[in-house]
Amino acid sequence: MPVNLPKINPALLKPIQGIRLGWTKAFIKKPNRKDLLVIEISDHSSVSGVFTQNRFCAAPVTLCKQHLLAKKNGDVNHIKALVINTGNANAGTGEQGMVDALTTCQHLAKIMNIPVNSILPFSTGVILEHLPMSKLLSGLPNAVTNLSDNNWADAASTIMTTDIAPKAYCTELLIENEKVTITGISKGAGMIHPNMATMLGYVATDAHISQTLLDEITKEIADLSFNCISVDGDTSTNDSFIIIATGKSKVPAINHRTDAGFNAIFDALLETSQYLAKAIIRDGEGATKFITVTVAGAKTIEEAKTIGFSIGKSPLVKTAMFASDPNLGRVLAAIGYASRECKSLEDLDTTQLELYFGDILVAENGGRAKNYQEEQGQAIMNEAEINIKVQLHRGDTEATIWTCDFSYDYVKINAEYRT
């Protein structure tokens, strides 16, 4: 079961003016489940995305990048629809994969009467299998017919793969006394590691944010949310994160960081994205613990994040957490080998750093802290939410990452998936 992930309440997922969502059951991998989603975006919206860095990136990711680039070079309000299927990732599918992704866009373009390159395609699921195109294409008209501004909860269910629970978030804020709404959904449970995860995230707001500004902050927000999570250290071929700003609210346009409401909308978009990213960890494959690792006193963000992930990815730390074992030794060892991936840590002075479990100082001066009692650590480890903090005392930069433990069920899920 997901760790402290509240059930989504469809009534709390407010519509975003300018966005309609339509789903259908296309029988792509399994019979009788929602597996195909179309999101319609009104004219004059800004749309930005960040994508996996995996060299084996999936065909739809390649096409998304091309279509976003076409948009940048021409009409800034170009993207008019997203199409998302689950059950098949269309990754590692060679030239046929590109043909299939493009054919999907072409058919949807015809149905919706919009340009082919105004559509962004996304796929998630099994790698290396070709998309079942006739099923997918025959599902498209149903999804379009189903379009409604009230379908966010169903949309969250439609894009799931090994997820146990759908993930969605909604927040409202006032800017200059006018209401702005942000609603978002995400999916992902395994093959999760930044840059990015087998994750899809879609966040929409009715605020007006200029395309240039949205491009900037989408990357910043991804780096502070979806790029701060790891289930297993595996970076997927399909990760995509999209922010859409429809501009339908009555709030004045936000074109620059100095414009009224910028900080408020940035914070609310970040809050939404962090909630959705953390929801993926709470629903991580086999997860029984939600672990927050904060690394402070680093010289650079890279140092802080590398140490955070070195702890968060270590199978030895993660199995100890599963066992509620306050095993500081494994955490210290993981800090110690972080220099493998971040050269500037080669001069890390381990006698200077402090390690905390919750608020308890557990290690200092290169060893166990003098007053630390194992019962204190045990009490913290018994909780479902565990906070680990490292203070390096070598700079003033801090980063936080989120991860989960490594359980029998992780092995079970991944040994049995596909069979």
The residues carrying an active-site annotation are 198
216 in Cβ contact with 25 (< 8 Å): no
Cβ nearer to a copy of itself, comparing 14 with 65: 65
Window of 95-103, 156-164, 169-177, 205-213 that interacts with a copy of itself by CB under 8 A: 95-103
Spatial distance between the Cα atoms of 39 and 207, rounded to a whole number of angstroms:
18
**Choices 43-51, 156-164, 212-220, 329-337; region in contact with a copy of itself by CB under 8 A:** 329-337
Answer yes or no whether residue 152 interacts with a copy of itself by CB under 8 A: no
State which of residues 329, 373, 382, 393 lies at the interface with a copy of itself (CB under 8 A).
329
Task: Check the CA dihedral 399-317-231-1 and report its sign.
Answer: negative
Asked if 53 is part of the footprint of a copy of itself (rule: CB under 8 A), the reply reads yes
| Rounded distance between C-alpha atoms, residue 279 and residue 86, angstroms | 19
Interacting stretch for a copy of itself, rule CB under 8 A, among 17-25, 29-37, 113-121, 308-316?
308-316
**Which residue, 158 or 198, is less far from a copy of itself as judged by CB?**
198
Residues 6+ away with beta carbon under 8 Å from 94: none
Does 351 participate in binding a copy of itself (rule CB under 8 A)? yes
Tokens of 326: 């306050």
Backbone angles phi, psi at 199, to 5 degrees: -135, 150
Among 32, 113, 177, 418, binds a copy of itself (CB under 8 A): 418
Question: Applying CB under 8 A, does 232 fall inside the site for a copy of itself?
Answer: yes
DSSP state letters, 322-346: HTT---HHHHHHHHHTGGGT-GGGG
3-state SS assignment for residue 227: helix
Query: Nearest-CA neighbor of 306 among 317, 316, 295?
Result: 295
Q: Residue 152 in contact with residue 23, Cβ under 8 Å? A: no
User: Binding of a copy of itself at residue 161 (CB under 8 A)?
Assistant: no
- Residue 56 sits in the site that holds a copy of itself (CB under 8 A): yes
Kindly tell me which of 237 and 274 has the beta carbon lying closer to a copy of itself: 237
The answer to whether 281 contacts a copy of itself (rule: CB under 8 A) is: no
Considering the rule CB under 8 A, would residue 74 count as an interface residue with a copy of itself?
A: no
Which of 350-359 are b and which e, b meaning 16 or more Cβ less than 10 Å from the residue's Cβ? eeebbbbbbe
* Main-chain dihedrals φ then ψ at residue 136, nearest 5 degrees: -65, -50
Q: Shortest distance, CB of residue 217 to a copy of itself, whole angstroms?
A: 24
> Judged by CB, which is closer to a copy of itself: 175, or 197?
197
Cβ 149 vs Cβ 13: under 8 Å: no
From the list 325, 358, 394, 397, which residue makes contact with a copy of itself (rule: CB under 8 A)?
325
Query: Which residues would be at the binding site for a copy of itself (CB under 8 A)?
Result: 53-57, 89, 91-97, 126-128, 190-191, 193, 195, 232-237, 313-316, 319-320, 322-323, 325, 327-330, 332-341, 345-346, 348, 350-351, 363, 365-368, 406-408, 410-412, 414-416, 418-419
